[in-house]
Amino acid sequence: MDLIRESEYRWEMKPSGAMRVPGRIYASAEMIDALREDESLKQVANVATLPGIVGASIAMPDMHWGYGFPIGGVAAFDPDEGVVSPGGVGYDINCGVRLLRSEATAAQVRDRMKDLVVSLFRNIPSGVGSARRDVRLNASQVRKVLEQGAAWAVSNGYGRGEDLDRIEAGGCIPGPDPDCVSARAIERGRTQLGTLGSGNHFGEIQRVAEIFDDEAAAALGLFPDQITVTLHSGSRGLGYQVCDDYLQVMLEAARTYGIHLPDKQLCCAPIKSKEAKRYLGAMAAAANFAFANRQMMTHWVRVTFEEVLGMGPADLGLDVVYDVCHNIAKFERHRVGGVEKTLCVHRKGATRAFAPGHPEVPAAYRAVGQPVLIPGDMGRYSYVLVGTEGAQRETWGSTCHGAGRRMSRAAASKSARGRPIVRELEDRGIIVRSEGRNTLAEEIPEAYKDVAEVVDVVHGAGIAKKVAKLVPMGVIKG
C-alpha cells in the first residue's frame, strides 16, 4: 500500500483500483510500520470504494483491524448519492464514554478505595448475564427508552435533569423508530438495561494526574488530584441484534441496488432507500438505549459514593463532564469545498471533536471546544481532550477513541497465564474487580497500545487538544 507522508502525523493513500477517494491516516511513522503488518490499511482502501463517499476514507492513530470498516475509521457520505452501512457503525451501537467529576480529592478517598470498588461492582451489574433485580422492563417500557434515551432514565429517577445538557445530542439521537427494532433485539435489551457488559467495557475511579491546558480544564471543571469516574459501555445485546438484523437487510439491499462489496461486512444501502431509513430509525433507537444505559449507571455511581463516603450529593458533585458516542452514524453540517452541506458521518471507533464555537457544543464549553474522552488501559491512564478547528476542517469534526489493541485476546490470555493480575495491579495502587474468568487476562494493560502515543498524534496533528490526564485508582470490569 503506497502511502505519502503529508506532514509529521498525516499520511495519504492515493486512490487505486475501485477507490473513489484517497485514504487519509493519522499516525506516527512507527505506527505506520506496525499497520503495514495487518489488514487495516486495506480496510481503509475498501471503505474508499463505497458509493457517495466524500473527501477521504479517514483513519485515526488508534486504528486496528476491524470487520469491514477498520476500527478507528471515519467516513462521510453524500445524502443524495451516498450509502449508510451498519458495519460502519459497528455491533455496539453508541458504544461511548461518560466522564463524571467529583469535588473530592484523591487524598480524601484513597483509604476507602477498596470499599468504593467493591460497592460499585455490586451496584453496577457487570459481565455476562448480569442484571439488577430492581430493573425489570416490559417491551412497551423498552420502546419508551428507545424513543427518549437518557431523558427516560432521568424521568424514572436515574440522575438529574442538568445531566442531559452534557451528553452528545442531549442524550437522544433524533429519529428513533422502535417499529424498526426487531422483537429479538428488544428481548435481548429488556434485561440488559443498566448493565456494563463484558470485554473492554469498564467503570473506573480515577484521579486527575496532570493538566495540560489550564483554561480548558477550568471550563470542564477539572483540577489537579480531583477524583473523576469514567464509564465505558454501549447498547448491549439490543444494539448487537439491531446491527446483525440490518446486516442481513443490507446484504440483500446491496444486491438490489447493484453495490459492489469488497467485503460482505461493508454491506450498505443508498441513504434515500427504505432499507437505509429503517436502519437509521433502528440505529437511533439503539443509540438512545445506550444513552439511557450510561445514565442509569451514573446514578448508581453517585449512590455508591454517597453510601461509602457518607457524603451528600452537594459535597460530592459527580456532575457529568460529558458523554460521547464512538460508534455512530449522524447527519451533520460540514464544509465541503467551501460550501456547507449535510453529510452522513460514520464514526466507528472514532469520537466527535467539535471545535470551539460550534452550536452543538454545550454553552459552558463553547469557548474551549467539545470535550473528548479517550480511555486507555486499566493500568496506565486515560485522557481528556477538546475538539478543534483542525478536526472541523480535516476529519468532519472527529478524532481518535482509545488506545487500540496491540495483542489479540488469545495472545493476552497466554501472556497473563499464571499471573496474579489483581495483585499486580494492586501493587501499582489500582484496585480491580472483574466478573468474567478470562476478562482480566484479555484486558491486561500491555494488551493495549500506549494511549499517550495515540493522543500525542491527534494533538500534534491538531485534530484535538490535550486537556488532562487521568490515572486509574479503582476499576470494575465485566
Buried-exposed string 42-73: b where 16+ CB fall within 10 A, e elsewhere: ebbbbbbbbbbbbbbbbbbbbbbbbebbbbbb
CB of residue 470 vs another protein: minimum separation in angstroms? 24
Contact string (CB under 8 A) for another protein, positions 307-346, x = contact: ----------------------------------------
Stretch that binds another protein, among 173-181, 216-224, 327-335, 401-409 (CB under 8 A): 401-409
Site for another protein in 55-84 (CB under 8 A): 64-68, 71
Rounded Cα–Cα distance for residues 197 and 181 (Å): 20
Say whether 326 is catalytic. Answer: no
Contact string (CB under 8 A) for another protein, positions 205-244, x = contact: --------------------------------x--xx-xx
User: What region does 397 belong to: left with phi over 0, alpha with psi -120 to 50, or beta?
Assistant: left
Nearest to 345 by CA among 327, 325, 330, 324: 330
Nearer to another protein, 99 or 412 (CB): 412
Rounded Cα–Cα distance for residues 362 and 369 (Å): 9
Q: Which of 252, 274, 335, 342 binds another protein (CB under 8 A)?
A: 252
Q: Which of 409, 422, 450, 453 binds another protein (CB under 8 A)?
A: 409
What is the residue whose three cell numbers read 477517494?
21
Q: Which of 247, 318, 361, 431 binds another protein (CB under 8 A)?
A: 247
Q: Could you give the 3-state DSSP secondary structure of residue 66?
A: strand
List 326, 346, 401, 459, catalytic entry:
401
Rounded Cα–Cα distance for residues 428 and 296 (Å): 30
DSSP assignment letter at 38: S
Question: Which residues, other chains included, contact 126 with Cβ-Cβ below 8 Å and sequence gap of 6+?
Answer: 195, 196, 197, 198, 203, 434, 435, 476, 477, 478
Rounded Cα–Cα distance for residues 164 and 166 (Å): 5
Nearest to 458 by CA among 379, 404, 380, 378: 404
Q: Which of 112, 131, 406, 452 binds another protein (CB under 8 A)?
A: 406
Contact string (CB under 8 A) for another protein, positions 257-286, x = contact: ------xxx-x-------------------
Q: Could you give the 3-state DSSP secondary structure of residue 277?
A: helix
In Å, how far are 229, 446, 477 from 435, measured between CA atoms?
A: 19, 20, 7
Stretch that binds another protein, among 111-119, 125-133, 280-288, 305-313 (CB under 8 A): 125-133
Q: 397: exposed, middle or buried (C-beta count within 10 Å: 0-12, 13-18, 19+)?
A: buried
Q: Decide: is 128 part of the binding site for another protein (CB under 8 A).
A: yes
Stretch that binds another protein, among 180-188, 313-321, 338-346, 415-423 (CB under 8 A): 180-188
Stretch that binds another protein, among 49-57, 144-152, 402-410, 453-461 (CB under 8 A): 402-410
CB of residue 185 vs another protein: minimum separation in angstroms? 10
CA dihedral 163, 165, 168, 171 (to 10 degrees): 60
Strand partners for 75 = 346
Q: 133: exposed, middle or buried (C-beta count within 10 Å: 0-12, 13-18, 19+)?
A: exposed
Strand partners for 67 = 69
Nearer to another protein, 247 or 280 (CB): 247
Stretch that binds another protein, among 73-81, 113-121, 364-372, 434-442 (CB under 8 A): 434-442
Question: Which residues, other chains included, contact 132 with Cβ-Cβ below 8 Å and sequence gap of 6+?
Answer: 125, 194, 195
Stretch that binds another protein, among 23-31, 275-283, 394-402, 403-411 (CB under 8 A): 403-411
Q: Which of 188, 346, 348, 459 binds another protein (CB under 8 A)?
A: 188
In Å, how far are 127, 148, 291 from 195, measured between CA atoms?
A: 8, 18, 12
Q: Which of 438, 450, 452, 456 binds another protein (CB under 8 A)?
A: 438
Q: Which of 22, 125, 199, 462 binds another protein (CB under 8 A)?
A: 199
CB of residue 436 vs another protein: minimum separation in angstroms? 7
Q: Which of 135, 407, 422, 452 binds another protein (CB under 8 A)?
A: 407
Query: How many residues line the site for another protein (CB under 8 A)?
Result: 45
Q: Which of 20, 112, 143, 184 binds another protein (CB under 8 A)?
A: 184
Q: Point out the residues that are catalytic.
A: 401
Site residues (CB under 8 A) for another protein? 38, 64-68, 71, 87, 91-92, 127-129, 184, 187-188, 197-199, 237, 240-241, 243-244, 247-248, 251-252, 255, 263-265, 267, 404-411, 436-438, 478
